[in-house]
Structure 1
Amino acid sequence: MDLFDQLEEWPRELLPHDGSVEYYGSIMSLPQADHFFEALFNTIEWRNDEAVIFGKKIITKRKVAWYGERPFTYTYSNTTKTALPWTKELIELKAMAEAESGETYNSCLLNLYHDGSEGMAWHSDGEKDLKTHGAIASISLGAERKFAFKHKNSKEVISQVLDHGSLLVMKGVTQTHWLHRLPPTKMHHGPRVNLTFRTIQTYD
């Protein structure tokens, strides 16, 4: 974080309308970010992601993991995952995200991108398992990558480079009106771990 970052007011609102995406920049020191990246890279139970598209199972290079305070099930891309129990590092990062955003979360979907060739296509996180209009807190660790939003009607595109140790929070009606993606890049990038803290809807 340089002098200009210190002078800038955080968080910064990225969307002009139809939702809210707040970018907080780095919320931890560089040693902390390095520590969490190494710990998650080496201890999370990573699995290649699966999707069923037109009846055909697709296995991605990107790896994922699903954790939570209970064994929540989460269904997307026609596949269902059951949450593993929190690890020490996930509890610490969840506390950071909650303190910064003023929101609470009960689950986390993690993604591991090995290099710049791996990304995520345009989508919105509107699965029925998630709390309606609930906040999603995204912490980025490792290689810096560009993250993009596209309005579903106007096709307006807004991008933000996500720094190592940074936090971005999507909330309100963002998922209703905007798609988002992590575009692949041919530039040389090392691995990146992304955590998206979410709230699974409960009825008790």
Structure 2
Amino acid sequence: MNTVNDNMDVRGHILETAQNIISRKGYSAVGLNEILAAADVPKGSFYYYFKSKDAFGEAMLQSYFEEYHANMDAILNAENQTNSQRILNYWNHWQESQASFDCQGKCLAVKLAAEVADLSEAMRLALKSGTAGIIDRLAEAIERGNADGSLKTKVEPSSLAQTLYQMWLGASLMAKITRDMAPIHNAMTSTRSLLLV
């Protein structure tokens, strides 16, 4: 009997399935029945793991950011690279993930930021916490880059990290609106200028 792992697998399967659907359609446009049908899970099982759709949305965002932060840590701590290379690799990864306009789970924060902030306080707080984790990691990488001499920034690291993240978030939204990668390319040019690489 492996009930704990089975429970984690079912819960994780629901979250992963929902993330793929919601990243394409948005949160409000997707009903529980669509998620459960795609996950091949009965409705009773859903409520065993999640008290409500909002609790589920919060858990989905927490799961998304946990994976996102782990991937970001791998990029920003890659061996045999300067900190400036690591930071640029992070932005290059962002650029590649936005290139298809059908992000399929790669850009859930971009997809849901405006939509759920006014719908669910729990989901807003999950987004706030997750994006703060991204900004904190960027600030640490910028600080390390200034210390090792691979970066020469004029702005305080945490302020610069916040500015960069907000710029890329906005650029990603504009790329979706225009169906054009120019906003992302502009963000990369500005990023290089701000980091003085």
Query: What TM-score comes out, normalization by structure 1 length?
Result: 0.25
| Greater share of helix | 2
| Greater share of strand | 1
Which protein is bigger by CA-based radius of gyration?
A: 2
